[in-house]
Structure 1
């Protein structure tokens, strides 16, 4: 009996230690209790972009090691490949301020940083809010968000810049590779200078005692799966039901509403994903905006719904090259960041 009681006490102590590790690590699964500071600095939305610089990419081990969190396995990218993604963004604030990130750096909620499940640590991405056109360049130095429907976790300052502090919202992200930095291809008019006139003084993160803490080992298990390429395999999804449309002829300033996929339509082939939304109304509004900007694409645009996510996609195309050609036209014509996916 005494031996059994001793084992039970040891297990209880181990559980407390694990809980303490997770509570003190910004890269662990994030839940409630977080939020904005009670007295935020003035003009926090004017914090300058992160300045991209070439940083070494670890080919193996450390932050490039495959890991598992909450039963899901992830394989970090360990090269300089381009990367684009659309989906939902969240943000984290006071609860994790000054806690160690997966890279070992302390989390600074007033810096332009972000967390991503698989991008190299560190790396840089341009994040765009399609609802208002705002953009921000952030440095990825943490892992997360560990929610199936989210693609990036922004710092408080980055969320303020993009006007995303009200909650989870759709974004488009594009990696700035070391090659982009080397050639200067990442720069756009105003990058790195539009905020220089009004520097923001914010409280710095205390450096003393900061520990190098990666994703907790208790939640980390090696996996052998290889990362997927640019094209994702998607199971067929049902198209969202078409909204009622007026029969009146559209005015000269209005684009014809983009049609939904007709019943029985084959969805097999390559598609250009233009955006993904948590609310169907947002997806439909975005669909109509793209149709107005590129009328020739309107007949091909559909909204597909799965697991409460509404994807706006154009297609299908018979080959990946044809889909990529359309993606390039959308990128150049509408300044969006589309991605090519495959349906079977």
Structure 2
């Protein structure tokens, strides 16, 4: 065999060897003119933006140990505090819920309910349940020490994206006055109280986290951080269920109005809550089955209705809609 032919066969053999040593992913990327490092990057938004989820280690505040956990049915009443002025978005600090996770926060003073994103640990005091960012405080209309209900939820992706972008998600339906009465009666004097037990058995006492108790011992429960208080500090008795029914009083007939378009701010379980919203938007209330609709108008044209809709949403009722009543 000639030296030239031997050299040619050797070159072919080295070429196959080099190809076999090249990773398959690199060869595919080269053939498709694709940058593998770019393809591996996760999208900037979407469900993946909520990962990784951080739980964290147990920690102690003034003798009470809190164990962060992925509690799905978290539902607790307590008091809110205000977070630092530099914190942005509709976000909150919580001691035990995953970061990030999402909660509905209800003001037990007004019934207004907002959606917020848990992004920080806190508050670092046992007398408060949650710490609100300035934007969350403004949307909820809360003050330092305002009584609140905090309930973990699983909102749709479009609302998660709004919160991740430091925007507001639409206000939730306001809590009926009858239920607010029940929730207020579950509030401890200080600290917080879980509602998970009361939901399953309303007659079972609910223990609260009382930072003034002389001895506090942690025990596992449906709430991420529930403590036992001494017998000298028992929780209040459960509220009567009839309170909700008493709140749903009969309504007078809606006024006679003319026009083809209305703006509906929402539908509410009690006349009291509906009247409060109607006053805020200079609207009126009308019955709709077991609910009370709050509307403004009617308006002669769709343009007039759209202008009124913008004002209603600016008031805080971002789920308001225009309806034709022809």
Compute the TM-score of the two structures, normalised by the length of structure 2: 0.37
Relative contact order higher in (CA < 8 Å, ≥ 6 apart): 1
In terms of Rg, which structure is larger? 2
Task: Pick the structure with more helix per residue.
Answer: 2
Compute the TM-score of the two structures, normalised by the length of structure 1: 0.36
